[in-house]
A = this chain, B = another copy of it.
Amino acid sequence: MQKNVSFYRVIYGDTDQMGVVYYANYLRWFEMGRTELLRQIGTPYSEVERRGFYFPVSEVSCRYLRSARFDDEISVETTLQALGRATLVFAYRITRKDDGLLLVEGWTRHACLDAKGKVVKIARELERILKKALAD
């Protein structure tokens, strides 16, 4: 399975008054991770959209084990977990880069839609590339 590893430095604007990252913001880093994975396997998401396909999130699950803090460098590991006719599932592990401590893990399920918002089968060529990312 192909894996992308991306990095991000936590800013003040990501934190809340508990002194840690606000829980919704990890979902932004999930997005960063899957965008970089798609780029890595040769199908940038901007390209996917140019061809008239959209992968909106239909479900998200996220477990918060430890907190990221201001100025932490985090590492986001993303893999393609499953591939259906018109769905994709990505899995994520966010760790603190420093010591590799696992902070958050989760997954997102996506539908494949066309420009009109109709569920459609993932395009043949794109499917081939995604299958390869699953198998590699």
Contacts and interface: CB of A to CB of B under 8 A. Distances in A.
Interface of A: 9, 11-13, 15-20, 22-25, 27-28, 31-32, 35, 44-46, 54, 56-64, 67, 70-71
Contacts of A11: 28, 31-32, 35
As for how many copies of this chain the complex holds, the number is: 4
A59 B59 contact: no
> Main secondary structure on chain A at its contact with chain B?
mixed
B12 A16 contact: yes
Nearest to A44: B71
A35 to B, nearest CB: 7
Nearest to A69: B17
A57 to B, nearest CB: 4
